Amino acid sequence: MEHNRLSKMRSHTALRDLVSETHLHKDQLIMPFFIVEGTRISDPIKSMPGIHRISSDVLVTEIGELLKLGVRSVLLFGVSSEKETLAQSAYRADNIVQKSIRTLRRHYSSDELCIITDVCLCGHTLNGHCGIMKGTEIDLEQTLDILAKIAVSHAVSGTDFVAPSAMMDGQVAVIRNALDDNKFHKVKIMSYSVKFASNFYGPFRDAYGSAPQFGDRKTYQMDYRNPGEALREVEQDIMEGADVVMVKPALAYLDIIYRVKQSFNIPLAAYNVSGEYAMMKQYASESGVPEKDLILESVIAMKRAGADMIITYFAKELAQWI
């Protein structure tokens, strides 16, 4: 034999599908939503073409369409105009997230729809930081106390998962204890375990109204030079009771996704963030490369690296393609 022609396994579509090593299922997609007060609101987000801030009645319709396409998991962010020193609005029963969860639960059971709710302070504090600031430093104790209150109020409303994204030390343990103390043993935690201080969040901050008014988030979000520290963050979150761990962003961090998956036996989510979305949209429109090809290549890369589930603004499109 001269040589084994490996390319013979690539000759036809059916064959290529037969031998493909990575599979993306609709069940593994999570669609994020930005929810606002009001009715019949669908306000386009300029930096994220195709994505809107929507009111909860529109959310119900949108989720109905998603479910028909086979996507059954959503991540909710409440966009609040009420900004307060101690983020009090975030844990009020009449906050937009809590109200939306209750509305969704009237339409869909947990068997039909998995609701995941973001738990952080940055959308509710005056200065846009993810914790309560004392001068230029985070007041950890006070921040953890508020994060726990937010998580419990989401649980009361009927969420399936709370997803703490503040990158505060000990947040998973404090939330787990608070949930258990309030008899929400079945509410699960999807932790933003490895959230880097990234330049890919720009459009999200625009959509969510959460850009920090001073300083940056480098004192609590992770330094992108540190894969070893990422593993320590995941290990810590698992010890504290995380049920799913997350790496955010995804595309520039495929090595982190790979390392986490190789190191820990726990469901792993990758967050295909707003900047990645905007970048792909713009590249597709300017280059003429079909969006479908570009998005599938990128999301399959996240799966190949080891992500079990993908949080992506492309969930609806993907569901139509796969």
What are the residue numbers of the active site?
A: 195, 248
**Residue from 24, 90, 119, 122 binding Zn ion (CB under 5 A):** 122
40 is in an annotated binding site: no
Helix and strand tally (H, E) in the chain? 11, 12
The span of 6-14, 121-129, 139-147, 303-311 binding Zn ion (CB under 5 A) equals 121-129
The maximal CA–CA distance of the chain, rounded, in angstroms, is 74
Q: Which of residues 124-153 bind Zn ion (CB under 5 A)?
A: 130
**Residue from 66, 120, 194, 310 binding Zn ion (CB under 5 A):** 120
Q: How far is CA 21 from CA 106, 189, 306, in A?
A: 40, 30, 12
Q: How far is CA 295 from CA 180, 203, 279, 282, in A?
A: 40, 18, 11, 12
Total chain residues near Zn ion (CB under 5 A): 3
The span of 118-126, 267-275, 278-286, 312-320 binding Zn ion (CB under 5 A) equals 118-126
Q: Report the residue number, 158 or 164, with the smaller CB distance to Zn ion.
A: 164
CB 144, CB 172: distance < 8 Å:
no
Positive/negative CA dihedral, 67, 71, 76, 77: negative
Q: Report the residue number, 122 or 309, with the smaller CB distance to Zn ion.
A: 122
233 is in an annotated binding site: yes
114 is in an annotated binding site: no
Q: Report the residue number, 212 or 267, with the smaller CB distance to Zn ion.
A: 212
Q: Report the residue number, 120 or 309, with the smaller CB distance to Zn ion.
A: 120
Binning the chain into helix, strand and coil, the percentages to the nearest 5 are 45, 20, 35
From the CB of 166, what's the least distance to Zn ion, in Å?
5
Give strand pairing partners of 1.
none
Residue 173 has which token pair?
Answer: 């343990």
- The rounded distance, in Å, linking the Cα atoms of 95 and 302 is 34
From the CB of 3, what's the least distance to Zn ion, in Å?
54
The span of 122-130, 142-150, 219-227, 246-254 binding Zn ion (CB under 5 A) equals 122-130
Q: How far is CA 141 from CA 26, 55, 110, 191, 218, in A?
A: 39, 33, 33, 19, 19
120 is in an annotated binding site: yes
CB 58, CB 42: distance < 8 Å:
yes
From the CB of 80, what's the least distance to Zn ion, in Å?
13
The span of 75-83, 104-112, 123-131, 304-312 binding Zn ion (CB under 5 A) equals 123-131
From the CB of 165, what's the least distance to Zn ion, in Å?
5
From the CB of 90, what's the least distance to Zn ion, in Å?
10
Residue 240 has which token pair?
Answer: 């504290």
Please report, in range form, the residues annotated as the binding site for 5-aminolevulinate: 205, 217, 274, 313
- Residues near Zn ion (CB under 5 A) are 120, 122, 130
Please report, in range form, the residues annotated as the binding site for Mg(2+): 233
